[in-house]
Structure 1
Amino acid sequence: MASISFDALTPAEVIATAARSGATRGNMRLDKIFLSSVSAGCLLAFACGTVLSTGTSPWFQENAPGLIRTISALVFPYGLCMIILTGADLCTGSFMFTTLAALQRQLSWKKMLLHWFVTFLGNLAGSLFVVAIIFGYGNVFATDPYKSAVITFATKKQVVPDFHMVFLRGIGCNWLVCLGCYFGIQGRELSSKIIGIWLPIFAFVSLGFDHVVANMTFIPMAMWLGAPGISAGLYIWKGIIPTLLGNIVGGGLFVGTYYWYMFLVKDEVITLTGLRKGQDKSEVSSVAAKSKEEDVEASAGVVDSSGSGKSN
């Protein structure tokens, strides 16, 4: 039976590449980090606007809420596709990239935290720019059914759930978002990258999880339209803090730290000594040396899809 091979990076190669990307991003000039994150905030805000405009049917909201959320989830991933393919910086992706770089000692922990801070501010600036200038003064959601849909959506997301619920949804969200970044690296050509990004993002939106940068559009847009019961204080308390903490755990721990441990932390070399009867010492030494060489190569993720044993 012929083996099936895929033109994609191995998991170890993906994580090594992500760590190098995190080091590059973390060592960029601060003005470039900020402008890159402003761009990411703008691009994601456009996708958030598409989600809001998709959910405007009262009949679907009352009779098939799961279906309308699934339809929204099918279109939302174009936002992260634009961000990743243009090389913009999303703070939620930084929680994975720079954590990997710091764990690999390619980036200082101080620079990691600075990158998180600057990208968060840039994402907020970009999101608010689109909310106020493009959507707000552009009157994109100023009339019904769009206005009522925005307010209803934000109320269900911000007012109804408790703090711990938003935190847990934030973990699930960035777990999936960072897997989207992971698969975006793993594919070697454009269509593979887009499909890889699309599927986890579809999952997080269809499940109603909370993304701190997406909330920078959803909640301020409702506030712009005069949503009752949603204030700046409530948004900070339930729209930013628990979501941000959950996103850090989901991206930094569940993806970044986990895959770093699995693929970049070298295991102890296990030899075959004593497993075969009748081996002399020279045979055992040869097997042990070969086992050590193969183990180091596998840990470094240098074996490519063609099996040539060379890195790309």
Structure 2
Amino acid sequence: MTLSLDTFTPPEVVELITRAGVVKGNMPLQKIFLSSASGGSLLAFACGSLLSTATAPWFQENAPGLIRTVSSMVFPYGLCMIILTGVDLCTSSFLYTTVAALQRRLPWWKMLMHWFITFWGNLAGSLFVVAIIYGYGEVFATEPYKAQVIKFATIKQVKPDFHHIFLRGIGCNWLVCLACYFGLQGRDLTSKVVGIWWPIYAFTSLSLEHVVANMTFIPTAIWLGAPDISVGLYIWKGIIPALIGNIVGAVLFGALYYWYMYGRTETPALEAPPEKGLDGDV
């Protein structure tokens, strides 16, 4: 009995990644910004759900691994919303546009421009949700939610050293690129969602560093008055090492690997229309 899987082959997936990078890299600048602002906002909602689910004082004291597992299982819905609506995150741009540039179908300057705009768009969208929904909406203003938000951010920002966050950022976007890959490999909605879910669960359960997720976690704690976290500390340890690590993880273990393994061959003839599966981002 032969098991048949209705998926794209690895060379076909790399072709889809390339086409997605070409499309995204050639978008008008204002559309890139709006798309990435939407992406940051959607991820911010998932970050809020993770913080809310993790607010379980008894479990935090007696079974911290269990409550981390449960909250990590919730978080990937944000990335699924992002993929299914076709919006942008800088962390997925590091994969898509780099592969397109390696395939010589997107200029390198457009790749870097897409990175730059998506980063600031993600930040704008994340801070909008943090201020308007979580902040003025007082979603986490009461206990024990307030204490959990501050504790979570303190553990992520104050205790680790710069190089710890950098290394965790590499691992995080290595897994994010795998989620992007699976999101394009599946031909149907269920396959895409399941494929995306597990790599994202992995990086969340391991408490790895995602620069866009930090755009919600840390500013929310600052808004609530976290005593040990300042804006300067957030920039120094929440943005810079996580961003550099995410770039290294995506380029080295995502884009370069998939391009070298599957992208330097003849362009595969896809059975599906070129538009199918191109709109996903993580």
| Fold equivalence (TM over 0.5) | yes
Partner of 2:134: 135
Q: Which residue of 2 aligns with 1:189?
A: 188
Q: Give the letter aligned to residue 191 of structure 1.
A: T
Per-residue CA distance 1:260-307 (angstroms, 9 max, x = gap)? 0001124xxxxxxxxxxxxxxxxxxxxxxxxxxxxxxxx5344869xx
Q: How does 1:94-113 map onto structure 2 within 5 Å?
A: 94-113=93-112
Query: Can you list the C-alpha shifts for 1:168-215, whole angstroms capped at 9, x where unaligned?
Result: 100110111111111010000100000001010011101110100000
Are residue 300 (structure 1) and residue 267 (structure 2) matched? yes
Which residue of structure 1 lines up, in the alignment, with residue 52 of structure 2? 53
- Cross-structure match for 1:92: 91
If the length of structure 1 is used for normalisation, what is the TM-score?
0.85
CA distance in 2, matches of 1:252, 1:91: 12
Residue ranges of structure 2 left out of the alignment (5+ in a row) = 273-282
* Runs ≥4 residues deviating over 2 A: 299-305
Matched, 1:216 2:220: no
What is residue 118 of structure 1 aligned with on the other side? 117
TM-score (norm 2): 0.94
Which is higher, the Rg of structure 1 or of structure 2?
A: 1
Whole-Å separation in 1 of the counterparts to 2:243 and 2:67: 26
> Does the residue aligned with 2:159 lie in a helix, a strand or coil?
coil
- Deviations 1:108-159 (Å, cap 9, x if unpaired)? 1111010000000000000000000011000000010000000000000000
Residue deviations 1:68-126, cap 9 Å, x none?
11101101000000001100000000000000000011111111010000000000000
- Whole-angstrom CA distance in 1 between matches of 2:153 and 2:185: 35
Cα deviations by residue, 1:46-87 (Å, 9 ceiling, x for unpaired): 000001101111111111111111101101000000001100
The one-letter amino acid paired with 1:132 is: A
Unaligned 5+ segments in structure 1 are 267-298, 306-312
Letter in 2 for 1:119: T
Work out which structure has the larger RCO, using CA pairs closer than 8 Å and 6 or more positions apart in sequence.
2
CA distance in 1, matches of 2:250, 2:125: 21
Whole-Å Cα distance in 2 between the matches of residues 185 and 4 of structure 1?
21
Offset at residue 251 of structure 1 (A): 1.1
CA contact (8 A) 1:263 1:300 kept: no
Q: What is the alpha-carbon distance in structure 1 between the residues aligned to residue 228 and residue 140 of structure 2? A: 19
SS at match of 1:237: helix
Q: Which letter maps to 1:206? A: S
Distance 1:31 1:300 in 2: 31
Match of 2:235 in 1: 236
Count how many residue pairs are aligned between Structure 1 and Structure 2.
272
Check whether the contact 1:11–1:301 (CA below 8 A) recurs between aligned residues.
no
1:29 aligns with 2:28: yes
